[in-house]
Amino acid sequence: DTGVSQNPRHKITKRGQNVTFRCDPISEHNRLYWYRQTLGQGPEFLTYFQNEAQLEKSRLLSDRFSAERPKGSFSTLEIQRTEQGDSAMYLCASSLANSYNEQFFGPGTRLTVL
Amino acid sequence: GNSVTQMEGPVTLSEEAFLTINCTYTATGYPSLFWYVQYPGEGLQLLLKATKADDKGSNKGFEATYRKETTSFHLEKGSVQVSDSAVYFCALSLGTGNQFYFGTGTSLTVIP
């Protein structure tokens, strides 16, 4: 399977704990995006990388959130001191750096904060 | 700012009925427009796209035309099937990183 993969698929945690999600993009894609999707809403942009550089962050990405893409391949999204409002589906997508290229989405990681 | 407004759902149709899902957008530049579909339990999949005004995207019997004058990108299908039951998202791509701005999604259920 050469699509975008995300791990874990589901994560249940207690409020105040830290969690980390991983995304493996399609291998030749140099752009990687993170989105958050809450129930009944469309995905909302969080941040994106071109190769290893994080080029833009949404105001939705509070200081409790951090994302890395250390070698320009896989990426991690960490949430510190989780809150119940962080409960959502976290989606990763990848693409080639071109204005017209579609983004390929992974299956997402569903986070539940108790 | 940039945003997408989609027709509210849910939509329920009988098999072979005509489908229209309205989508309008606001953008600060010249966006590319997309329709993504999310089948139950699966991730988002690209359905079709259009990159400039008057382009028509089409796939699997679905069509949408990029209308700059009305800032719209309505999704249509002439005869829906039960297998088309899914959530449909309209999106635009803009900005230096081409991040997507999604609508809220429209749930479609097709009954036999």
Q: Is B93 on the interface with A (CB under 8 A)?
A: yes
| Interchain pair A105, B44: CB under 8 A | yes
| Interchain pair B102, A106: CB under 8 A | no
With CA atoms as reference, the chain A residue closest to B51 would be: A100
| Interchain pair B101, A45: CB under 8 A | yes
Kindly state the tokens that stand for A56. Answer: 């833009």
Kindly state the tokens that stand for A42. Answer: 């469309």
Spatial separation of the C-alpha atoms in residues A107 and B5, rounded to whole Å: 24
pLDDT band at B96 (very low <50, low <70, confident <90, very high): low
Q: Which of B52, B45, B24, B49 is nearest to B34 (CA)?
A: B49
Residue A3 one-letter amino acid: G
- In this prediction, residue A32 carries a pLDDT of 94
pLDDT band at B98 (very low <50, low <70, confident <90, very high): confident
* Chain A residues touching residue B32 (CB < 8 angstroms): 99-100
pLDDT tens for residues B12-68? 999 999 999 999 999 988 899 999 999 988 889 999 999 889 999 999 999 999 999
| Interchain pair B44, A91: CB under 8 A | yes
Spatial separation of the C-alpha atoms in residues B57 and B62, rounded to whole Å: 8
pLDDT tens for residues B56-69? 999 999 999 999 99
Question: Splitting chain A (114 residues) into consecutive groups of 10 residues, what average pLDDT does each group show?
Answer: 89 98 94 93 92 87 93 94 96 82 90 97
Helices (H) and strands (E) in chain A, counts: 0, 11
How far apart, in Å, are the Cα atoms of A107 and each of A23, A59, A98, B40?
10, 24, 23, 11
